[in-house]
Structures are given as C-alpha cells and as structure tokens.
Amino acid sequence: MTASLPRKDLFDLPEGMIYLDGNSLGPLPVAVKDHLASVVAEQWGQHLIKGWNLDDWMEQPVRVGTRVGRLIGAPAGSVVMGDTLSLKVYQALSAALEMRPERKVVLSDSGNFPSDLYMAEGLIRHLGKGHELRVVAPEEVEAAITDEVAAVMITQVDYRTGRMHDMAAITRKAHVEGAVMIWDLAHSAGAVPVDLAASNCEFAVGCTYKYLNGGPGAPAFIYVRPDLVDTIQPALSGWLGHDAPFAFEQSYRPAKDIERMRVGTPPVLQMSALEVALDAWEGVDMADLRAASVRLCDLFIAEVEAKCPELQLVSPRDASVRGSQVSFAFEHGYAAMQALIARDVIGDFRAPDVMRFGFTPLYIDEGDVIRAVEILAEVIDQRLWDNPAYRRTGRVT
Ligand SMILES: *Cc1c(COP(=O)(O)O)cnc(C)c1O
C-alpha cells in the first residue's frame, strides 16, 4: 500500500514551528524516543556486552544499510553504515584511485560541499603520488571528464543552490572515458528518487541526519557496486572490516563483501535511532515524494517572488534540475534568516548571502509553505531583520 503524504503524526515537531531545514538536520521521529529509551534501558542497561549477539548489534550496519539501499536503488547487501560522510568520501576516493593507478586527476566541481574537497586534498597529500584535484564549474563537469581522470567525485545536489546533476549522463561519460564514478548523495537520499543500480556507478556515499532523520551525528553510508566489492582494498583497514575480526589475526584480510567498508565499533545508539527513523519511509513511493516536493518548491518560489521581490532566486527554476530545496539571495540574508527563525520559521543561511529552505514532504504541506512566506514577507517589508541582535553569528549558521 502506498502511504499518503505528509505523515506529520510520525514526527515530534514543536508546536507552531515551520521546519524548513530538514535538508540539514531532520526532525525527531516520534518512534525514536521510545525505541532509544528501550535500547538504552534494556539492551545496553540489562544485556551489556551480550547485546552484540543478543540484540544483533554486530549485523546492524549491514541490516540498516539494506534499508537505506531501498531508498537509493541499491540491492540488498551493497550498502553499509558507519562513520561520518567525510570518512566515507575518503574511503571511496582512496579505493577509486587504487583502481586507476596510472591516472592522476580527481575531478570535482565548485558546487561540491567543502568537506568532500578537503578530504580529497588530504588524501592526495598523504598518498604523495602527484595526484591533482581538478575543480570545475558544475556546468563544465561533463566536458571536463577526459581520459586523464581517475575518479569523478560529485555531489548530485548542490548544498547551496539545490542544482541537481544528471546522474545517468555523468556516470555514462565517466565510464566512456574510463574513470571511476563516485556520487555523494548527501542531499539526494530521501529527497529525490535515486537508482544507483541503473546508474552503474562504482561508489556512492551519503549521510542520514539530513532527509533520513537519523538525528545529529547519525552514521553515514557507503555503496560499492556488487561486482567490484571483492576487489576493493580498503585504506581504512579497521578490525570490523576484517574477514574474521574475532580471529584477531596479526594481518588485515578484508571481509568478502560490503563489510570490508566497515572500520571500527559502530555507534549502536545512533544506528538504533536511524533504524527506527527509517520506518517513516515504509510504504512511501519515491515518485509520490518527488511530486510532492516539486509542488512545495514551485509554490514556495511563486509565493516568494510575488511577495518578496527583493529576494533573488538562486536555485534552478526548472524542477527537473533541482533537488528538494530552494535558495534565495538577499543582501541582508543572515539577519533576515535570524529574524525568521525568531518567528519559528526555520531555514538556514549559507555565505555570502544565501537563505536556504528545505522541503520535506514527509512533514511539510502547502499550508506550511504559504504561512512561511507570509512571515518572510513581514520580515522583509517591515525590515524586521534590521536589528543588531540578528547580526550576531553563532558557530553554526
Ligand atoms: C552534509 C554534507 C557533508 C557532511 O559530512 P560529515 O562528515 O557528515 O560532517 C559532507 N558532504 C556533503 C556533500 C554534505 O552535504
């Protein structure tokens, strides 16, 4: 059966808040509260070390990975959870570079999230083999894929603008030129339909605290194409990626399947929160979710352009090349976002002047969009942002 959207009753959203930041940190699913309390009290509290077997903690990273895989078109057993996205980027890229030892270029784009680029810089420096990180404009990615490129490492949906790459076309070009394709799905998983198997890419990575509502610090995921996984040499060769961790052998031997991308002890409490958070996706058809997301984003754009002409759309107008977020530039964007947040409409800000709003059809509807823009229009029309309290910046924007 297909579930109808939204499913607000599944989330514990504060009364009166319009939460348009699920692209950054998803809200608390109601079921997570009780489940986490019982995992703490019973599994950790009563079972203690026995929990690894009794409560199947050891299988959890693959079990949860398979559930995330269903949302991104990955077959069972091809995704494993663990660590943070930055580390998963490092794992995927290091494996990709070992697959193309004769090539020295890592291709990415200027719309990528900085951490992915920073991890690539660190890896390249550490390898010391003369690799080059080549960063081009998003529109130039396809043309920049040449036979010099070892790995194309791209985030599908741009965190600032929401611009979305054509996964099939870029992967095809990478393969024509003999490059390895790595997709970062941080702003795709749970936001847009993804078909990893059809794309034929070698690697994909992503996080679960954004659209998948796994909570702050929820584990990341990594996908390796099943026909390749046995040939991957993990750079982060921790004991839980070993073929027989409890044999305590002196040397590393990678596990025979996706478990070789595990590193160390998994975060059981976070993974348990995520496992139950994923229940919110049961019965949700990703095509319905996408249709609802496009409706919400289009409505938001139309309303803001009608009511706040000072704001400039920086996201694509064409929904087919836009993810599930909409951004507007405004000279006083930071202060305006603070004024908006003070009025319980939660979005966020990305330097230099981008006001960013995420649309998550699991718990946002048209009424929320219209109300949010009414409040935004008050902030702009009445210059409510022009208040010193709204110019102070916190560590996190
Ligand atoms: C959110 C995000 C990250 C964050 O990485 P963490 O290691 O989870 O902090 C990395 N890359 C992209 C593309 C992101 O959107």
The string of pLDDT tens digits covering residues 94-120 is 999 999 999 999 999 999 999 999 999
Instruction: Say yes or no: 271 and 292 in one domain.
Output: no
> Does residue 355 carry a pLDDT above 90?
yes
Asked if residues 5 and 173 have their Cβ atoms less than 8 Å apart, the reply is no
- Cβ–ligand 1 distance for 199 under 6 Å, the answer no
Residue 27 located in a structural domain? no
The tens digit of pLDDT for each residue in 54-93 reads 999 999 999 999 999 999 999 999 999 999 999 999 999 9
Beta bridge pairs of residue 180 = 151
> Among 281, 315, 349, which residue terminates a domain?
281
The pLDDT, as a whole number, for residue 393 is: 80
Asked if residues 346 and 18 have their Cβ atoms less than 8 Å apart, the reply is yes
Residue reference for tokens 């810089």? 121
* pLDDT classification of 395: cutoffs 50, 70, 90: confident
| Peptide bond before residue 388 is cis, with ω within 30 degrees of 0 | no
Residue 100 located in a structural domain? yes
Instruction: Say yes or no: 293 and 275 in one domain.
Output: no
Say which CATH number the domain at 58 has: 3.40.640.10
Q: How many domains does the chain have?
A: 2
The tens digit of pLDDT for each residue in 243-287 reads 999 999 999 999 999 999 999 999 999 999 999 999 999 999 999
Nearest-atom number in ligand 1 for the CA of 112 is 13
Nearest-atom number in ligand 1 for the CA of 186 is 15
Amino acid in the structure at residue 299: L
Whether pTM exceeds 0.95: yes
Tokens of 389: 């309290």
- Show contacts of 39-43: CB within 8 Å, 24+ apart: 39/268, 39/269, 39/272, 40/269, 43/268, 43/272
- Cβ–ligand 1 distance for 25 under 6 Å, the answer no
Residue 302 located in a structural domain? yes
* pLDDT classification of 182: cutoffs 50, 70, 90: very high
Other beta carbons within 10 angstroms of residue 10's beta carbon come to: 20
Instruction: Say yes or no: 96 and 222 in one domain.
Output: yes
Burial of 3 (0-12, 13-18, 19+ CB in 10 A): middle
* pLDDT classification of 1: cutoffs 50, 70, 90: low
Mutation choice for ligand 1 from 81, 115, 154, CB with most ligand atoms inside 8 A: 115
Asked if residues 124 and 106 have their Cβ atoms less than 8 Å apart, the reply is yes
Sheet harboring 79-81: ordered strands across?
79-81, 221-224, 203-206, 180-184, 149-155, 105-109, 132-136
The tens digit of pLDDT for each residue in 275-323 reads 999 999 999 999 999 999 999 999 999 999 999 999 999 999 999 999 9
Q: In this structure, what DSSP letter does residue 49 have?
A: G
Number of residues written out for the chain = 397
Residue 112 located in a structural domain? yes
In whole angstroms, give the CA distance from residue 327 to residue 303.
13
Q: What proportion of the chain, given as a percentage, has pLDDT over 70?
A: 100
In whole angstroms, give the CA distance from residue 68 to residue 386.
43
Residue 21 located in a structural domain? no
The pLDDT, as a whole number, for residue 397 is: 77
Per the structure, the complete domain to which residue 348 belongs is given by: 285-391
Tokens of 132: 């080059």
Beta strands in the chain (DSSP E): 18-19, 79-81, 105-109, 132-136, 149-155, 180-184, 203-206, 221-224, 312-313, 325-329, 345-346, 348-350, 354-358
Instruction: Say yes or no: 216 and 95 in one domain.
Output: yes
Other beta carbons within 10 angstroms of residue 86's beta carbon come to: 16
Residue 396 located in a structural domain? no
**Ligand 1 center to 207 CA (angstroms):** 7
Instruction: Say yes or no: 246 and 365 in one domain.
Output: no
> Among 220, 248, 281, which residue terminates a domain?
281
Q: Collapsing DSSP states into helix, strand and coil, what is residue 68?
A: helix
Mean pLDDT over residues 138-165, rounded? Answer: 98
Mean pLDDT over residues 330-350, rounded? Answer: 97
Closest by alpha carbon to 352, among 342, 337, 362, 340?
Answer: 337
Instruction: Say yes or no: 270 and 291 in one domain.
Output: no
The pLDDT, as a whole number, for residue 392 is: 83
Instruction: Say yes or no: 156 and 257 in one domain.
Output: yes
Q: What proportion of the chain, given as a percentage, has pLDDT over 90?
A: 97
**Ligand 1 center to 216 CA (angstroms):** 12
- Cβ–ligand 1 distance for 357 under 6 Å, the answer no
- Cβ–ligand 1 distance for 312 under 6 Å, the answer no
- Cβ–ligand 1 distance for 184 under 6 Å, the answer yes
List C-alpha distances in Å: 179 to 49, 97, 156, 226.
44, 10, 17, 18
Protein residue with least CA distance to atom 12, ligand 1: 113
Instruction: Say yes or no: 309 and 219 in one domain.
Output: no
Burial of 202 (0-12, 13-18, 19+ CB in 10 A): buried
Residues with catalytic annotation?
113, 184, 209-210, 356
> Does residue 342 carry a pLDDT above 90?
yes
> Does residue 345 carry a pLDDT above 80?
yes
Q: Is the dihedral of CA 63, 64, 67, 71 positive or negative?
A: negative
